[in-house]
Amino acid sequence: DAKTTQPNSMESNEEEPVHLPCNHSTISGTDYIHWYRQLPSQGPEYVIHGLTSNVNNRMASLAIAEDRKSSTLILHRATLRDAAVYYCILRDVKELTFGKGTLLTVNP
Amino acid sequence: NAGVTQTPKFQVLKTGQSMTLQCAQDMNHEYMSWYRQDPGMGLRLIHYSVGAGITDQGEVPNGYNVSRSTTEDFPLRLLSAAPSQTSVYFCASSYRGQLSGYTFGSGTRLTVV
């Protein structure tokens, strides 16, 4: 299975943009890039996914490198409620394989 | 409200006891999965199903059984509980294919003493 590499932790200030990086150098042509987040004491929550083109939704934006070997999840204005562990996952057709993710701390 | 419902939310078992964790979804999702999450760790896949009557093993299947007799339900059975199975268990479901995100339940916190 293709693997992803993310920083263990990142910090941001409230109302500032946050760029969460993810490296996936062994990605295959059919792997979709998915992002989930897990708030404290909750189950993971789907954030966004993409294949080749950049994607936007109400929660975030996903920027995918042209060679697809890396991607960046963008939170445009971080709030205290965005403090969570963020997982970058290359979705196999049937299942998700979670790494340890990035712990995002948002400072007031 | 549509979603994934897990019961119970908390459970304490004695070593050697068996029990079933329930998972139900009302979104007509084909795919369902069970994960466990140990403290400070990411989620690890136990078993998954791509449709009624079809199940397969994930990364850590030992000590667990599953069945999928209906699209809606995907129970996880612990055959003989061990302290190493103390964990938080999450059930998830998704439409077929890679274009959909998974919806997760709120989890079952299991302690085996």
pLDDT in tens, B57-81: 999 999 999 999 999 999 999 999 9
Residue B41: strand, helix, or coil: coil
The answer to whether A46 contacts B102, with C-beta atoms less than 8 Å apart, is: yes
User: Cα B27 to chain center, whole Å?
Assistant: 17
Give the pLDDT mean for A73-81: 96
User: How would DSSP label each residue in A53-74?
Assistant: S-EE-SS-EEEE-TTSSEEEEE
Token pair recorded at residue A93: 């057709």
Residue A52 has pLDDT above 70, yes or no: yes
From A93, A100, A101, residue closest to B97, measured CB to CB: A93
Token pair recorded at residue B56: 């397969």
Residue pair B55/B67 in contact by the 8 Å Cβ criterion: yes
Residue A56 confidence class, pLDDT cut points 50, 70, 90: very high
Residue B39 confidence class, pLDDT cut points 50, 70, 90: confident
The Cα B57–Cα A17 span in angstroms is: 40
Residue A98 has pLDDT above 60, yes or no: yes
Token pair recorded at residue A96: 């998700």
Residues of A with CB under 8 A from a CB of B: 30-32, 34, 36, 42-47, 49, 87, 91-101
Name residue, tokens 């995918």.
A64
What confidence score (pLDDT) does residue A42 get?
92
Residue A30 has pLDDT above 90, yes or no: no
The Cα B12–Cα B94 span in angstroms is: 29
Residue of B nearest to A101 (CA): B42
User: Cα A49 to chain center, whole Å?
Assistant: 9
The answer to whether B105 contacts A91, with C-beta atoms less than 8 Å apart, is: no
Residue A95 has pLDDT above 80, yes or no: no
Residue B40 confidence class, pLDDT cut points 50, 70, 90: confident
Residue pair A72/A18 in contact by the 8 Å Cβ criterion: no
Residue B99 has pLDDT above 90, yes or no: no
Residue A1 has pLDDT above 80, yes or no: no
What confidence score (pLDDT) does residue B98 get?
67
Q: Among the listed ranges A24-33, A57-66, A86-95, which one has the minimum average pLDDT value?
A: A86-95
Give the pLDDT mean for A11-18: 96
Which one of A98, A100, A102 makes the best mutation probe of the B interface by having the most chain B beta carbons within 10 Å?
A98
Token pair recorded at residue B66: 């599953």
Closest to A88 measured CA to CA, from A60, A67, A66? A60
What confidence score (pLDDT) does residue A45 get?
95
Task: Give the up-direction half-sphere exposure of residue B14: CA atoms within 13 A in the CB hemisphere.
Answer: 0
From B35, B44, B101, residue closest to A46, measured CB to CB: B101
Q: What angle do CA A58, B31, B24 make, to 5 degrees?
A: 90
Q: What angle do CA A55, A58, A59 make, to 5 degrees?
A: 85
What confidence score (pLDDT) does residue B90 get?
97
Residue B49 has pLDDT above 90, yes or no: yes
What confidence score (pLDDT) does residue A99 get?
86
Strand pairing of A84-91 and A70-75?
Answer: unpaired
Rounded-to-10 torsion of CA B42, B46, B49, B53: -170
Residue pair A27/A2 in contact by the 8 Å Cβ criterion: yes
Mean pLDDT across chain A, nearest whole number?
92
Residue B91 has pLDDT above 60, yes or no: yes
